[in-house]
Amino acid sequence: SRLSSSSGLMYPKEGPKKKRRRSHPASIMHQKEDGTCFLCMLLESNFQIYGYREEHHVFFSGHQRAISEEYGLKVYLCYRHHREGPDAVHNNKRYRRMLEAEGQRAFEERYGHKKFIEIFQENYIYEDIA
């Protein structure tokens, strides 16, 4: 009888391969530890500390969510500014575009305009975002 040296079993059970954990870099736009909502600060100069906020990837459609994660292009939003109602970034195109422009600025400060365009293939900074 042949026994596997590692498990002592003749036919060792092969388990599922473990996924490699992805690293989750910190945001380059907003400190999670602050407890603030990025849009409350930007739009209302409101620096209230929230007990609950949600992470929002600034560029989130298609493959861009993974790129946002990789480069730390994420902010923390209160529930009102993330999901529910007319002020939620997922429901408000103006606020979404505003965050995308802020994300592009933050990215370009570190990596430059050329690299941003190479990766995202679009310019999100407009003269007027009204």
pLDDT in tens, the chain (130 residues): 555 555 566 666 666 666 666 677 899 999 999 999 999 999 999 999 999 999 999 999 888 999 999 999 999 999 999 998 999 999 999 999 999 999 999 999 999 999 999 999 999 997 554 4
pLDDT computed for residue 39 by the predictor: 97
Could you give the C-alpha distances from 44 to 40, 41, 69, 73, 76, in angstroms and in order? 5, 6, 26, 21, 15
A 10 A CB-CB count for 30 gives 24
pLDDT computed for residue 14 by the predictor: 67
pLDDT computed for residue 24 by the predictor: 79
d(CA 130, CA 117): 23
- Asked if 42 and 87 count as a contact pair (C-beta separation under 8 A), the reply is no
d(CA 78, CA 43): 13
pLDDT computed for residue 62 by the predictor: 83
Q: Which residue has the tokens 């388990």?
A: 15
pLDDT computed for residue 129 by the predictor: 47
